[in-house]
Amino acid sequence: MPFNAPRGTSDILPGDQPLWDHVHRTAERVARQFAYGRIDTPLFETTELFARGVGDETDIVQKEMYSFEDHGGDSITLRPEGTAAVCRAYLEHGMSNLPQPVRLFYNAPMFRYERPQAGRFRQFHQFGIEAIGDPSPQVDVEVIEMGWRFVRELGLSGVTLRINSIGDASDRPRYVKDLKAYYEKHIDSLPKVARDRLERAPLRLLDAKEPECQDLAHDAPKSLDYLSEENARHWEEFLGLLDGLKLVYPDLNYTVDHRLVRGLDYYTRTVFEIEPEDARGQSTLLAGGRYDGLMEKLGGPPTPGIGFAAGLERLILNVQRQEVPVPGPPVLDIVTVHLGEAAQARAAQLAAALRLEGLSVVNAPAGRSMKAQMRYANQASARFALIIGEREIERGVAALKPLDGGEQVEVPLEASAIAAAVSGPASTS
């Protein structure tokens, strides 16, 4: 093949679409139930937005951004995530004047130059939500409820929630100091990549995959022990509300995991992830948390926010693994089968009129035998073949043949009569 889709990207073919429809529809239904309004931001933003928002020292900004200079000399980046862009839009459009919190969702492709593997791509899709302008733990629980509900509504089972609080600027420096001191004591048992991380992003040592790091993380200082009074109160209140939610969702099993720190710098206080219980490799399905300091980093006034994003490819992989039944592809109502030039013209005109009646209709390819056209109709899984010949035109009728083996009937050559006949008792759609 002279050309293939770029590494880490894929085509979503018509046969894959029922799965994607299932995920998109479920996402939109859940979003509307919680009164989130859709927002679409551009595919690209100025590079500086992500450098400041996501953080200069993160893997995303250091190694994974698709950045380029445009013809005007501006540095542009294909968005690697949605939160910074949504916050930019919140500030740009004065959304602080709206009732708070402003609840927004998106369903959009993201771009990260990562090493592709199962569940990890260079172009991938996220369903994300952001609730901006309310610091209350009530919103933390709302957002988690929404994430949980989304995953469960997709039909997935065997998932689990991990939560943590990573404090904020008021208590983080004290925590980071002790965390660094702890790892420095064990520097000899740290692999080289982890030693580099110790300076750049010490919190990331806690969720590092290397076995030596995992052993050390176990006994490392915990952010929960360092929370300021206010952040500790937020955390306790959050836990209380989460336990309240458990009464409604008895299957909502969660664990407090002090190694959950997230890979983007904007997070403060509550962070969480949902993943399969038997998680291996790239498995986090949905992840998020609070970002109460992000708006300020972007030049806005202090504005709290919280949200999550779910990786749609990973969800789809799990929907397939768990063999969740999803609605099939849209049904094709009619294929017109036409014999002769006059019939072909009449069939095309009738197809147009039938589409106005709301039916899905295609004409069998011209210039083929009746047998070949009927084969085409069967292969297209149409519900009916509408057979039109010169003689039928003279008599003002057509033959309507159900392709599920039902009885063929004669119908007037009129769109409304045909539409009534196909939505009669034989109808399955």
Counting Cα atoms < 13 Å in the Cβ hemisphere of 401 gives: 16
Shortest reach from residue 309's CB to ligand HAM, in Å: 4
Question: What is the separation of C-alpha 242 from the centre of its chain, rounded to a whole number of angstroms?
Answer: 24
**Which residue reads 């779910």 in tokens?**
310
Q: Is 38 left (phi over 0), alpha (psi -120 to 50) or beta?
A: beta
The contact mask relative to ligand HAM for 304-323 (x = CB under 6 A, - = no) is ---xxxxx-xx---------
What's the rounded Cα separation, in Å, for the pair 363 and 380? 11
Q: Which of 121, 226, 272, 376 binds ligand HAM (CB under 6 A)?
A: 121
Nearer to ligand HAM, 26 or 83 (CB): 83
Q: Tokens representing 244?
A: 């309240």
Applying CB under 6 A, does 126 fall inside the site for ligand HAM?
yes
Q: Which of 23, 88, 90, 130 binds ligand HAM (CB under 6 A)?
A: 130
- Residue 387 in contact with residue 376, Cβ under 8 Å? no
Q: What is the pairing mode between strands 384-389 and 397-402?
A: antiparallel
User: Considering only residues 76-105, where is the footprint of ligand HAM by CB under 6 A?
Assistant: 81-83
Applying CB under 6 A, does 124 fall inside the site for ligand HAM?
yes
Q: Stretches 119-127, 167-175, 183-191, 363-371: which one binds ligand HAM (CB under 6 A)?
A: 119-127
Q: Which of 52, 112, 269, 383 binds ligand HAM (CB under 6 A)?
A: 112
Nearer to ligand HAM, 61 or 377 (CB): 61
Q: Kindly write down the DSSP assignment for every residue of 202-228, as one continuous string.
A: GGGGTT--SHHHHHHHHTS--GGGG--
User: Considering only residues 186-245, where is the footprint of ligand HAM by CB under 6 A?
Assistant: none
Q: Which residues pair with 124 in a beta bridge?
A: 110
Nearer to ligand HAM, 213 or 310 (CB): 310
What's the rounded Cα separation, in Å, for the pair 88 and 75? 17
Nearer to ligand HAM, 171 or 292 (CB): 292
Q: Which of 53, 128, 167, 221 binds ligand HAM (CB under 6 A)?
A: 128
What's the rounded Cα separation, in Å, for the pair 241 and 222? 22
**Which residue reads 């993943």 in tokens?**
275
Q: Which of 146, 194, 205, 287 binds ligand HAM (CB under 6 A)?
A: 287
Nearer to ligand HAM, 112 or 401 (CB): 112
Nearer to ligand HAM, 306 or 419 (CB): 306
Q: Which of 265, 301, 270, 304 is nearest to 288 (CA)?
A: 270
Q: Which of 259, 268, 271, 165 is nearest to 203 (CA)?
A: 259
Q: Which of 284, 344, 360, 423 binds ligand HAM (CB under 6 A)?
A: 284
Residues of the shown chain interacting with ligand HAM in the complex, contacts defined by CB under 6 A: 81-83, 112, 114, 119-121, 124, 126, 128, 130, 264, 284-289, 307-311, 313-314
